[in-house]
Amino acid sequence: MAVNDTITIRVDDRIEQAIAALTRGGASATTAIERAILESARRAAPAPPNAARPGAVDSTTLSVQRKLTREQLLEFAERGYIVIPDVVPPEILAKANEAVDKQLKSHPPKDGHAGPHFMFPMWEEEPDLAALLRDTEAFTLAEELTGDGAMEYPWQTQIAMTFPPYIDDRGMPHIDGGMRRKADEPPRTFTMLAGFFLTDQDGDDSGNLYAWPGTHRQHAEYFRKVGPDAFTSYPDIELPEREQVRAKAGDLLLKHYMVGHNVGSNTSDSTRRTIYFRLKVRGHDANWREIIQDPWHDFTPLRPLVSSFEKDGEAAK
Ligand SMILES: O=C(O)CCC(=O)C(=O)O
C-alpha cells in the first residue's frame, strides 16, 4: 500500500461502548486496561470455600467475581433493595473512614449535635470514598441490575452520619429530588442508590436507613394514574410496614431510586456512618417522566423476572 493511501476503519459500536465503559470516571487508558485485566483474572479465578455468611466472599483478597443470585435479583425487583455482605475489603474501608474523619474536620457539626449530619464531597475530591465503588465489586454488582456498561460513575458522594441520641419520629418516607421542587424544574431523579456501611448497623436503632419495601412499584403505579408532573410532593399511597435496613461494616446496599426511605433513629452509643452514591443509567435524565411511571425502565435485566408480581401496566415495555 502506498504511503498516502487512505484507510477507512469502521469502529464497531460495541468497541466504542467497551472503550467508554473502560475509561468512564476519567480513568486513563492505562488504568482502564489494568482494571480490565484484573477484572478478567477475577472472573477466571475459582471460588474458594466460604461459609462465613450467605453470599459472602473472602474479603481479604476479593478473589471471586460475584454474581447476584436469581433470588437477589427477584428480591431487588419485588422489595426494591438488597444488602450484599462483605463487598469492601478492610483496607478500603479503613481509608474511607479516614476520608470521613478528614471531611469532618472541615465540615464539623455544632458542638453537642445529635441527629443527622450530611456532607457532599465531589467524586474527584475524595478518591478514598470513590474507591468504595470503583475499586471493589460494587459497581459490577450494581450493573447486573441495569446491564453491563449501562451506568456512569456519579459526580458526587454523600457522607451520611447520625450522631446519637436521635429519634426519628416522622413516620413518613420521602423520594429524593422531587418533593417540593418547582413545577417547571425537572426532578433530580436517578437509577439506584449504592450505600456503603462504614459502621455496623445490624441491630435496630443504630442509625439504620428506614425503608418502605415495595414502594418503588406503588409510586410508579400512582404516577401512572395521576401523571408524572404530580411529582412535587409525596405520593398518596397506602404505606407498607417500615423496615430498618440491617448491615455490617463493609456491606453494600443497592436500593431502587423510587423506594421511599428516610433517616433512621440512633439510640446506640456510637455515630452511624454510611456513604451513598446516586447512580444513573446513561441518558437517564431525559427520560424522568417515563422512569417514574415504569420501575423497570432503567433495569433491563429485571424485566423478564417481574411477571410474577407485576400488575397491569407495570410490565416491561
Ligand atoms: O441518613 C440516611 O441514611 C438517609 C438519608 C436520606 O434519606 C437522603 O439523603 O435522602
> 65 in ligand 1 pocket by Cβ < 6 Å?
no
Grid look-up 423506594 returns 259
Instruction: Say which residues have a Cβ less than 8 Å from residue 221's Cβ, sequence separation at least 6.
Output: 311, 313, 314
Among residues 255, 245, 250, which one has the least CA distance to residue 162?
A: 245
Q: Which of 118, 157, 253, 278 to mutate to test the pocket of ligand 1 (most atoms within 8 A of CB)?
A: 118
Decide which of 2.60.120.620, 1.20.140.150, 3.40.640.10, 1.25.40.10 is the CATH code for 45-308: 2.60.120.620
CA distance 234 to 270: 32
- Residue ranges in the chain whose pLDDT is less than 50: 1-19, 21, 25, 27, 31-32, 37-64, 315-317
pLDDT of residue 200: 98
pLDDT of residue 182: 83
Residue 80's region, left for phi above 0, alpha for psi from -120 to 50, else beta, is left
CA distance 273 to 269: 13
pLDDT of residue 314: 56
Domain ranges of the chain: 45-308
pLDDT of residue 312: 53
> 189 in ligand 1 pocket by Cβ < 6 Å?
no
> 116 in ligand 1 pocket by Cβ < 6 Å?
yes
> 274 in ligand 1 pocket by Cβ < 6 Å?
yes
pLDDT of residue 183: 79
CA distance 174 to 180: 11
CA distance 92 to 274: 14
Q: Enter the pTM of the model.
A: 0.81
Tell me, in angstroms, the distance from the centre of ligand 1 to residue 263's CA: 5
